Amino acid sequence: MHRRATDDVVVMHPDTSRGIEVLHNPVYNKGTSFTASERERLGVRGLVPPRFFPIGQQATKIWAQNQSLERPLDKWQHLQDLKDRNETLFYRLVHDHIEELAPIIYTPTVGDACLNFSKLLRRARGMYFSVDDRGDINSMMFNWKRSVSVIVVTDGSRILGLGDLGTNGMGISQGKVDLYVAGGGFDPQHVLPVVLDVGTNNEDLLNDPYYLGVPRKRLEGEEYYAFIEEFIRGVRNRWPNALIQFEDFQTKHANKILQRYRNDVLCFNDDIQGTAAVVLAGLYGAMKCLGGHRKDIVKQTFVMCGAGSAGSGIASFIHQALVANGLSEDEAYQRFYIIDKDGLITHDRNLDAPGMEPIRPFARARSDLPDGTRLLDVIEKARPTTLMGVSTVSGLFTREVLQKMGEINERPIIMPLSNPTSRAECTAQQAAEATGGRAIFSAGSPFEDVEMPNGHVMKANQGNNFYVFPGVGLGALLSKSSVISDGMLQAAAMAVPAMLTREQHESGTIFPRINRIRDISAYVAIKVIEAAAREGRVPEDIRKIVSKGEEALREYVYSTMWIPNYRPTVFSCSSRK
Ligand SMILES: NC(=O)C1=CN([C@@H]2O[C@H](COP(=O)(O)OP(=O)(O)OC[C@H]3O[C@@H](n4cnc5c(N)ncnc54)[C@H](OP(=O)(O)O)[C@@H]3O)[C@@H](O)[C@H]2O)C=CC1
Ligand SMILES: CC(=O)C(=O)O
Ligand SMILES: [Mg+2]
């Protein structure tokens, strides 16, 4: 599946030309890092400057270049250009500077990149399947490499909180697979970003002469689901062991697709399930900040702004955890107040509308509060401990709302989770000012910690599914389970806060630093594999490793991780891939 860390050579495909072609191939190119013997062997002697620079020095130089750029989008472009020239060096840079570069290759900058994708694209990456390809999707998959372990696929219909970006959504699939490599240790040769171009309803794109997708309205209804089915069947045929991550599908389709495939195909929806796992992880962390135990989530009351795929996924998943910790189903539903653009959702709402199904059990009784009650009034009445935002509405958490949370709670839990930064329901600064720095804060996109006038620092945690999806994917694949169960995801949620120290909790930290992402992903993977084993989903060889204990599992997980270093490059008469 992955290239093992113990692999000591890169074997060039026998059809790859020697000479200049090697330099033009980002998989094999090392620039000034080819050794003298490689220069001979690969026919590049004299095609690169004579001096040899090890990867560390190359990375230092390119890092300085990237840092000298002012605009985040220029940094993004600079990194894409590097990836197009030299993948190993690109991933080395991202691996070594993940804290600084995650906001560039991922939220928030990737949002800008998607908005401008038609203008920015220089070299295509990944696979595009459009409505015009119907009937040929499986055969097209043979244009790609034989070995794929993870596919991130979007239909571009809801990219971050930016709406329908059509085929420009490819930027998010690419950003996520880069995080699989940098964060989860996946071999870059085995990840595949995909966009399903089923059209777009975005008029600006339809009128843009440079738009890269098929300029037509979106497929809908049975035609849409037939297209998805053709794609899934194609994957099953071409890459039967690959994991599929559904990303940024609009709510009305996201849940339906997930329910249709989750019991038959190794897949998950990152916005529904990955987000839910990370938010629960954050809540467990918050319970520790409050001096308690993760079981204390049963004492919490949640107001959730946003009833889309993220909101419904989070609510359902926390509900499961509340029940697992002793509440009845009904008691657990009573802990939620869910609000959409029309205010509080009650039984007076049309709960049969597309996408509403998972929200239905959370609708409040008519007697509680009138349908449509506004956020501030809901907070007054419900007195929540936790306020979450997955609404895409910047500024929704007004000063009054945040102050009210601060009046009700000594340490209010405030989570403006919408991405990118321009869509966050509030900033860290606003949350800190309105609560006197007492909030336990976590946002989808990165913010700076806030220092209060008295010197106290309010931690600006980043609550992003980035903390779990690489580890969930890694664990699921290594477990050889055929599906990803709720139990595996619940285990992922518990793994993340277990990586924090008491001192970190005391300072208001609910997620580990992102520069530990490889260790976080490995630990999440270990817990996911253990959960799969407990549920009887793993074959004998994996069960044996699990039975030897966590250390053996850790060794197994780390041994599969790809490390961004150059290895000697050789030709072989038969390909190993
Ligand atoms: N931090 C993270 O890791 C993640 C963050 N997200 C973010 O979550 C956001 C939502 O994603 P998703 O659920 O898929 O998107 P949707 O567009 O499906 O959901 C948005 C929801 O917000 C509601 N809404 C709109 N205006 C308001 C308002 N004024 N008050 C309360 N609710 C409102 C919408 O209601 P209506 O339908 O009536 O318009 C809808 O229910 C995105 O910004 C995304 O980037 C998503 C996944 C992961
Ligand atoms: C983080 C993510 O998946 C989103 O905002 O959609
Ligand atoms: Mg997403």
Question: Are 240 and 303 members of one domain?
Answer: no
Residue 145 lies in domain: 121-269
Tens digit of pLDDT for each residue in 464-515?
999 999 999 999 999 999 999 999 999 999 999 999 998 999 999 999 999 9
Question: Are 316 and 453 members of one domain?
Answer: yes
Q: Is residue 251 part of a domain?
A: yes
Whether residue 577 lies in the annotated active site? no
- pLDDT value at residue 5: 45
Contact yes or no for 473/184 (Cβ under 8 A): yes
Q: How many Å apart are CA 359 and CA 306, to the nearest integer? A: 10
Q: Is residue 160 part of a domain?
A: yes
Q: Which of 106, 160, 178 to mutate to test the pocket of ligand 2 (most atoms within 8 A of CB)?
A: 160
Contact yes or no for 271/169 (Cβ under 8 A): no
Burial class (CB in 10 A: 0-12, 13-18, 19+), 25: middle
Ligand nearest to the CA of 395: 1
282 CB under 6 A from ligand 1? no
393 CB under 6 A from ligand 1? yes
Question: Are 189 and 305 members of one domain?
Answer: no
- pLDDT value at residue 289: 96
Point out the annotated binding site for a divalent metal cation: 247-248, 271
- pLDDT value at residue 467: 98
Question: Are 310 and 242 members of one domain?
Answer: no
Residue of 28, 106, 337, 467 with catalytic role: 106
Domain-terminating residue out of 408, 443, 463: 463
- pLDDT value at residue 380: 97
Q: How many Å apart are CA 141 and CA 144, to the nearest integer? A: 6
Q: Is residue 214 part of a domain?
A: yes
User: Ligand 2: distance of its center to the CA of 23 in Å?
Assistant: 35
Question: Are 237 and 311 members of one domain?
Answer: no
pLDDT beneath 50, residues of the chain: 1-3, 5-6, 575-577
- pLDDT value at residue 6: 43
- pLDDT value at residue 59: 98
Question: Are 251 and 384 members of one domain?
Answer: no
Phi, psi for residue 21 in degrees, rounded to 5 = -60, -30
Q: Is residue 475 part of a domain?
A: no
Q: How many Å apart are CA 309 and CA 318, to the nearest integer? A: 14
Point out the annotated binding site: 158, 247-248, 271, 419, 464
**Within 10 A of 476 (CB to CB), how many other CB atoms are there?**
27
271 CB under 6 A from ligand 1? yes
- pLDDT value at residue 10: 83
Q: Which of 105, 107, 462, 469 to mutate to test the pocket of ligand 2 (most atoms within 8 A of CB)?
A: 107
Percent of the chain with pLDDT over 70: 98
Question: Are 126 and 198 members of one domain?
Answer: yes
Question: Are 248 and 278 members of one domain?
Answer: no
Question: Are 243 and 134 members of one domain?
Answer: yes
Residue 215's contacts (CB-CB under 8 Å, 6 or more residues apart) are: 205, 206
Q: Is residue 399 part of a domain?
A: yes
Tens digit of pLDDT for each residue in 407-465?
999 999 999 999 999 999 999 999 999 999 999 999 999 999 999 999 999 999 999 99
- Helix, strand counts (H, E) of the chain: 25, 16
| DSSP symbol at 46 | T
Question: How many domains are there within the chain?
Answer: 2
Whether residue 480 lies in the annotated active site? no
Q: Name the pTM for this structure.
A: 0.96
358 CB under 6 A from ligand 1? no
Point out the annotated binding site for (S)-malate: 158, 419, 464
Question: Are 256 and 345 members of one domain?
Answer: no
Nearest CA residue ID for atom 14, ligand 1:
309
Q: Is residue 539 part of a domain?
A: no
Q: Is residue 33 part of a domain?
A: no
Angle at the Cα of 337 from the Cα atoms of 335 and 342, rounded to 5 degrees: 170
Question: Are 278 and 241 members of one domain?
Answer: no
| DSSP symbol at 411 | S
Nearest CA residue ID for atom 42, ligand 1:
161
Q: Tell me the CATH number at 458.
A: 3.40.50.720
- How many CA atoms does the CB half-sphere of 408 hold within 13 Å? 23
Q: Which atom of ligand 2 is nearest to the CA of 310?
A: 6
Q: Which atom of ligand 1 is nearest to the CA of 445?
A: 1
